Amino acid sequence: MNKNQIDELIAKYNEGLADPSEMLQLEHMIESGDVELTHLRELSKFDENIDKFGEPMASKSLDNRFYDMLSRETSKAKQFDFSSWFNFQSWGPKLVVTMVLVVVGFIGGTVLQKNTGGGEVKELAQEVSGLKEMIMISMLEKESATDRLKAVSLSEEIQGPSKKVTEALFKTLNADPSVNVRLAALDALHNYAKSPAVREGLVRSIAQQDSPLVQVALAELMVSMQEKSSVNELKKILAQRSTPKEVKQRIEESIKVLI
Amino acid sequence: MAKVRDGDPEKLGLLYERYKRPLLGFFVGLVRDKELGEDLVQNTFMRILKYKHLFRGDGDFRTWMFHIARNVKNDHFRKNKVAHEKVENWENKIRDEGNLMLDWQHDDDQRMLAIAMDKLPQDKREILLLSKYQEKRYKEIGEILGCTEGTVKVKVFRALQDLKAIYHQVEKMM
């Protein structure tokens, strides 16, 4: 069937004049994709009206039943899972990290035995710190929020963190999908607040936050750091319509203290 | 869903909030009982949690969810041996109090359409509901029903034809 014949068939159908054999032909055309349902005027109107159908609202009782079930499942998932010990995917990376640490420790021990000079010890400490940084940054990329929380707490063990670590923490603070991880990153960065670059980064981060919890935590941190330069950024949150009333109140209090 | 599968069941809450209404609309449209519809929504999410490890992640979640929802509905009918209703003599029952869909429509045309939908045989109602809630993605509906995209389109065409015929009869009786 050429295009004209197909158009003719569709027109006939739309006028309600298609006979049974033409209806059958039309079905074949629909099945093969030569005719789309949207070409059939009246039918597609019915289809559109079905889309506009109002829907029932779920009752409170359904919500309660669902969330009860979910909390039971969540607590089960949090319980110790013996089988996970045998899951290579889970302990494989941990084993590799442990082995690397053992090897570094062994080399370090050997070096120390031969020479107790301060130079090597310093070098070794740097190596270990570099290794921790590497582990921390790679853990921050993990999908699981728990792993990312561990990564943030690992950063606290790193002495005098490098630019790489603070950058990774800022990236987490500004873009991590989990509010808990963002709050942990904020805590970790608080420890390095003596650095002007970190203070500046924290001030810049204020406007990037959409979570009320993080916004309030940042406002409180600004007060504790007495960071007056943050007032303009805090005012930006106040100006946003989406900011909840309680958050606005807390931020206004913080601004008063800072001014 | 991938996060739920990988050990973060709390994320299912987000999926529940997003899909509870379409799923309830699908079930209520099929079983015409809101309370039962809610039970089936709950059972669907329970089954999603139970079989989370089977979610491959290469297709979309909604298609997988409706696949499970259909199984839940079929199991319900099998267990309860609910007979498929007869559509003959529906004219006498046009003002049945049983048509829940009527309650949620805002104008007369939509109410007449709800009556006509209610009088369709269940398999035809199901294909139209799937078409609505799967947003006309016939290929995915084919995955749910185990048939080709072309077959789905023909089934939708036939169901709409029947719906149109019933609608015009309802219109005449109004």
pLDDT digits (tens, 9 = 90+) for A53-108: 777 888 888 988 988 888 887 777 665 455 555 555 555 666 666 777 788 777 77
Which of A115, A147, A164 is a domain's end point? A164
- Based on the structure, what is the number of domains in chain A? 3
Query: What is residue A188's DSSP assignment?
Result: H
pLDDT bucket at B97, cuts 50 / 70 / 90: very low
Residue A145 or B100, more confident: A145
pLDDT at B68: 93
Report, as an integer, the average pLDDT of A182-194: 86
Any domain includes A184: no
Judging contacts by C-beta atoms under 8 Å, the chain B residues touching residue A67 are: 13
CB B164 within 8 A of CB A23: no
Q: Is A1 helix (H, G, I), strand (E, B) or coil?
A: coil
Within a 10 A sphere around the Cβ of A188, how many other Cβ atoms? 23
Where is pLDDT greater, at A253 or A120? Answer: A253
| Phi, psi (degrees; rounded to nearest 5) at A16 | 75, 25
- Could you tell me the residue range of the domain that residue A22 belongs to? 3-50
DSSP state at residue B97:
T
Q: Which of A197 and A160 is assigned the larger pLDDT?
A: A197
Using the predicted structure, report yes or no on whether residue B96 has a pLDDT greater than 90: no
At residue A234, the pLDDT reads: 87
**A121 in a structural domain:** yes
Is 50 exceeded by the pLDDT of residue A142? yes
- Portion 75-134 of B in contact with A at CB < 8 A: 100-101, 104-106, 109-110, 113-114, 117, 128, 131-132
Cβ-based interface (< 8 Å): residues of A facing B: 26-27, 30-33, 37, 40, 42-43, 46-47, 49-59, 61-63, 65-67, 69-70, 73-74, 77, 143-145
Q: Which long-range contacts (CB under 8 A, 24 or more apart) does A162-165 make?
A: A162/A133, A163/A197, A164/A133, A164/A137, A165/A133, A165/A136, A165/A137
pLDDT tens sequence across B50-94: 887 777 766 688 899 999 999 999 888 887 765 444 444 444 444
Residue A77 lies in a domain: no
Show me where the domains of chain B are located: 1-82, 85-174
| Yes or no, beta carbons of B167 and A46 under 8 Å apart | yes
* Res B102: pLDDT: 57
CA A83 to chain centre: 28
Sequence-separated (6 or more) residues with CB below 8 Å from residue B38: A58, A59, A61, A62, B24, B27
Q: Check A66 against B20: CB less than 8 A apart.
A: yes
- Would you call B173 helix, strand, or coil by DSSP? helix
Higher pLDDT, A53 or B138: B138
Measure CB to CB from residue A62 to each of B6, B42, B113 and give the nearest one. Answer: B42
Question: What pLDDT, on a 0 to 100 scale, did the predictor assign at position A1?
Answer: 74
What CATH number should be reported for the domain whose range is B1-82? 1.10.1740.10
How far apart CA A228 and CA A237 sit, in angstroms, is: 16
Task: Write down the pLDDT at residue B27.
Answer: 92
ipTM: 0.78
Q: What is the dihedral of CA B35, B40, B41, B47, to 10 degrees?
A: 150
8 Å CB contact between A176 and A208: no
Q: What is the pLDDT of residue A39?
A: 87
Asked whether residue B4 carries a pLDDT value surpassing 80, the answer given is no
Residue B137: phi and psi, rounded to 5, are -85, 85
**pLDDT tens figures, B18-43:** 889 999 999 988 888 888 999 999 99
State the pLDDT confidence band at B160, using cuts at 50, 70 and 90: very high
Q: Classify domain B85-174 at the CATH topology level.
A: Arc Repressor Mutant, subunit A (1.10.10)
